[in-house]
Amino acid sequence: MFNVRKLAWVGFAFMLTGTALVAVMIILNEASVLYTFYPPLAAHPFFYVGLVLLVLGIWACCFGVFINYSHWRKAHRGQPTPLLAFFAMGVFVLWFFASIGITIEVLTLIPWSMGLVETTNVMVGRTLFWWFGHSLVNIWYLVAASVWYVVVPKLIGGRHFNEKLIKLVVILLVILNIPGGFHHQIVDPGISLSIKYLHVFMSLAIAVPSLMTAFAMFAVFERAGRRLGGKGLLGWLKKLPWGDVRFLAPMIAMIAFIPGGAGGIVNTSNQLNQVIHNTLWVVGHFHVTVGMSVVMTFFGICYWLVPYLAKRRLTAKMNRLGVIQTIIWTVGMVLMAGSQHAAGLLGDPRRTSFTTYGDHSTALSWIPYEYVMGMGAVLLLIGVLIQVYAVFHMMFFAPKGETEFPVAEAEDGAAPAPMWTERWGLWIVLLLMVVAMAYVVPIMDFILNAPPGSPPIKTW
Amino acid sequence: MEQARTEPIRQTSKKALGINQKDAKVSLSYLTVAFVSLLIGGILGLLQGLERSGLLELPTGVNGTWHFITRCFFHYFYDWLSVCCSFAFFRGPVV
Amino acid sequence: MKQAVYGLLLYGFLVLPPVAALLESIMIVHMHMQMPLLVLSGIFMARFFQIHFPRFFEKWNKNGVPGVLLFMVIWSYWMIPRMMDETLSVQAVEVFKFISLPFLAGVSLRDSWSKLGSSAQSMVFVFLTVVFLFMAWIYIGADKQICNNYLEVEQKTLGWGSLAFALIMIIYFLQLFYIDQSEYK
């Protein structure tokens, strides 16, 4: 029998080796191929080997969780899984099936970069990459959402929302997720317009569970605030524990997801995407969604998870530092992401160095926004320094003691989720069905109508 | 009946208080890598932000590499942290 | 009854000429998305007929077998390349498609499903898997264009899509064997 903890350590070793190998290859200037490392840009073979190790490490964790889940099922027959575990199951199912695309890509790129195979099919590579690429950010988002649904209600002294709805959101996010990556290829050649149009629906489908989340969360806040004596239309807002960093950080994260999600809909829509494609707008978009929604939730988690794991306490002083950090981070990110959105709308491209294009007037009009971006970056580094200090302080120096692992309970008398929500076999089959619907057409088209393949190209 | 219905959820919160110390060690190891990555990514990110704003000129040749390594480390931060958190969340309430 | 309204809405959406034209413009979407969606709309709308005409179903579909046979016949009929081709060329065939898939296949499948035993339900799955495998064989293997309205490359894509669906159905079957389903009722 596999030992789940050992699998986690195996995963740690694989991921660390992979991480180091990838970083070294980039620093040696052998792998300047971006995060989106699809062909024809070719890196050193060791870069891809590092990625394989990284994925193997994640798979070890996946199998650990799957095994753990089946143990739990056997020991607790007829009971629905606890919410956080259900989320974790969703996260790792998504990790596993999303990473299959990139694994296939990387395994074809290794012989290509070594020169054993002369050419590779660029479009297939890109498509397999985005099979994974967008799901990856949704994996982070799902982790953040688990905290919003289960932890935040406890911190504000409320109860979590209807368990059935929460589990349904997880199931929908897992099933519908992978084809969402297609909107990254919305200006790619070789894909017919009607297929792109159908894919807009697939991408927008993810907005449905996200909107369910938004409504559910605000219902939880209002209920908790009113229970604490909040009056009037918005009086309950004042009753929320704004001074508690464990609440403040994820709350700002959730609010940031409103503009973040709206921007995402812009990116997914064919015509609107034409305006902002490959501009700084996109950079601004992921600074809001990832840099705020995900990262601030993760920061908020640290203030209870780290002391909890290290058997220490969160002090009032550390909480105050956390609040200050959250404010600095918020201001920094608003400056950074706001100016990037604006500059992007004016046409400022992403993935370039600073240039004025020979003092062209359009390029000069971007400069004020770029200054604001620089100011944001300074604030963000201050935020990073405080956060890293806080985490290591809580890990090693905070006073010893017990910290609560905050898990909200259901409303009194609320029914547990129906058992059909636990049918992971079926959810995985549906996920595969959706993937097949989304990817068979473009991939077959790229293979059957393939242009000449591309040799490895190194532009630097 | 009432008791039976709410029981599994009550159990959740009680069990969550008892994460195994050995599991905590795994999670803390993941967290450490995540925040070291954040520190590296943050410093490089500032340099990249200043370079992109035209406020700082990085030596030629190094310039491009900064961009790649920054993104790389930010990704490490998210990936390591999300694996760690999910793992801790799973082991916390379930074991 | 709410279900029936959702089914009707889905049906109305699929009937809209621009939607139908878009879905029918791609061979695999025509067969693997539009047709199953039409059946699905029928499955939802079945509630209406079950409530208003219980005697009819009682009389003609007592043990569920006639209904599921009708479903199989209709489904197989629309898997024939020539039929799909004709929907695009002959208006009457197109009309028949929009009537037969929801009202003959979808409604009867819904009414039969709960009346069938688990072994009969498994047989429906086996039937669908075999049909998909057969289609994969035909469409990948054919070295000529078999529809006037679709290119050979689309035909091959449809074949590979059918193979993918068949494999997924097999995966579904395998998990039924390994996971105890009684827990989820």
> For the segment A306-316, what is each residue's pLDDT rounded down to a tens digit?
998 898 999 99
Residue A339 domain boundaries: 249-407
Question: Nearest by CB to A440, which of C153, C164, C175?
Answer: C164
Distance (Å, rounded) from C-alpha A280 to C-alpha A346? Answer: 9
Chain A residue nearest residue B3, CA to CA:
A413
> Which chain A residue shows the shortest CA-CA distance from B32?
A392
Say yes or no for a CB contact (<8 Å) between A16 and B2: no
Cross-chain residue pair A301–B85, CB shorter than 8 Å: yes
| A376 contacts on B by Cβ (under 8 Å) | 49
Does residue A196 sit within a domain? no
User: Which residues from A are below 8 Å from C33, CB to CB?
Assistant: 437
Q: How many CA atoms does the CB half-sphere of A334 hold within 13 Å? A: 10
Using an 8 Å CB-CB cutoff, list chain C residues near A440: 28, 157, 160-161, 164
B neighbour chains, 3+ CB pairs within 8 Å? A
Judged against a pLDDT cut of 50, whether residue B5 lies above it is answered with: no
In a mutational test of the A interface, the residue from B3, B80, B94, B95 whose CB has the highest number of chain A CBs within 10 Å is B94
Average pLDDT of adjacent 10-residue blocks, chain A of 460 residues: 79 91 86 84 93 93 88 84 89 94 94 94 93 90 92 90 92 92 87 86 86 91 88 86 94 94 89 91 94 94 91 93 96 96 94 89 94 94 95 93 86 86 92 91 90 88
Distance (Å, whole) CA A120 – CA A193 = 24
CA-based angle A286:A256:A267, to the nearest 5?
Answer: 40
Which mean pLDDT values do the consecutive 10-residue runs of chain C (185 residues) have?
Answer: 92 95 92 94 93 89 91 93 91 94 94 89 91 92 89 91 94 82 69
For residue B4, is pLDDT > 50? Answer: no
Closest CA to A302 of A219, A392, A426: A392
ipTM metric: 0.91
Residue A300 forms part of a structural domain:
yes
Query: Using CB atoms, which chains have 3+ pairs under 8 A with C?
Result: A
Nearest-angstrom CA–CA distance, A225 and B56: 48
Residues 6+ apart with CB under 8 A from A167: A80, A83, A86, A417, A421
Rounded-to-integer distance, Cα A5 and Cα A406, Å: 23
Given CA atoms A299, A304, A310, A313 in this order, what sign does their dihedral have?
positive
Top residue of A37, A301, A407 to mutate, by most chain B CBs within 10 Å, is: A407
- pLDDT for C8 equals 95
| Number of domains chain A is built from | 1
Chains C and A touch (3+ CB pairs under 8 A): yes
pLDDT computed for residue B92 by the predictor: 57
CB contact under 8 A, C153 and A436: no
Question: CB contact, 8 Å: B44 with chain A?
Answer: no
Q: Would the pLDDT of B1 be above 70?
A: no
Which residues does chain B have within 8 Å of residue A381's beta carbon, measured at their own beta carbons?
A: 42-43, 45-46
* SS3 per residue for chain A: CCCHHHHHHHHHHHHHHHHHHHHHHHHCCCCCCCCCCCCCECCCHHHHHHHHHHHHHHHHHHHHHHHHHHHHHHHCCCCCCCHHHHHHHHHHHHHHHHHHHHHHHHHHHHHHHHCCCCCECHHHHHHHHHHHHHHHHHHHHHHHHHHHHHHHHHHCCCCCCCHHHHHHHHHHHHHHCHHHHHHHHCCCCCCCHHHHHHHHHHHHCCHHHHHHHHHHHHHHHHHHHHHCCCCCCCHHHHCCCCCCHHHHHHHHHHHHHHHHHHHHHHHHCHHHHHHHCCEHHHHHHHHHHHHHHHHHHHHHHHHHHHHHHCCECCCHHHHHHHHHHHHHHHHHHHHHHHHHHHHHHCCCECCCCCCCCCCCHHHHHHHHHHHHHHHHHHHHHHHHHHHHHHHHHHHHCCCECCCCCCCCCCCCCCCCCCHHHHCHHHHHHHHHHHHHHHHHHHHHHHHHCCCCCECCECCC
pLDDT for the residue A173:
94
Mutate to test the interface with A, among C40, C183, C185 (most CBs of A within 10 A): C183
Please report the residues numbered 46 through 75 in chain A whose beta carbons come closer than 8 angstroms to any beta carbon of chain C: 73
The residue of chain A nearest to residue B74, with distances taken between CA atoms, is: A291
Say if B and A touch: at least 3 Cβ pairs within 8 Å: yes
pLDDT at B62: 67
Angstroms from A216 CA to nearest CA on chain B = 19
CA–CA gap between residue A346 and residue A363 (Å, rounded): 9
Six-digit token pair at A79?
A: 């009971």
Domain spans in chain B, listed from the N-terminal domain onward: 22-94
* Residue A452 placed within a domain: no
Q: Which residue has the tokens 């905290």?
A: A147
- Residues of chain A in contact with residue C29, where contact means CB-CB under 8 angstroms, are 198, 441
Q: What is chain A's Cα-based Rg?
A: 23
Residue B9 scores a pLDDT above 50: no
A-chain residues within 8 Å CB-CB of C153? 444-445, 448-449
| Secondary structure letter of residue C115 according to DSSP | T
Rounded to a whole number, what is the distance in Å from the CA of C5 to chain A's nearest CA? 20
Q: What is the pLDDT of residues A81-112, one digit of tens each?
A: 888 889 989 999 999 999 999 999 999 999 99
Partner A contacted by C143 (CB < 8 A):
no
Element (H, E) at C98: helix C91-99
How far does the CA of residue A119 sit from the closest CA of chain B (Å)? 25
Task: Tell me the chain B residues in contact with residue A294 when contact means C-beta distances shorter than 8 Å.
Answer: 78
Q: Is A81 on the interface with B (CB under 8 A)?
A: yes
* Domain contains A375: yes
User: Inter-chain contact A290–B65, Cβ cutoff 8 Å?
Assistant: no
Nearest to C169 by CA among A429, A174, A179: A429
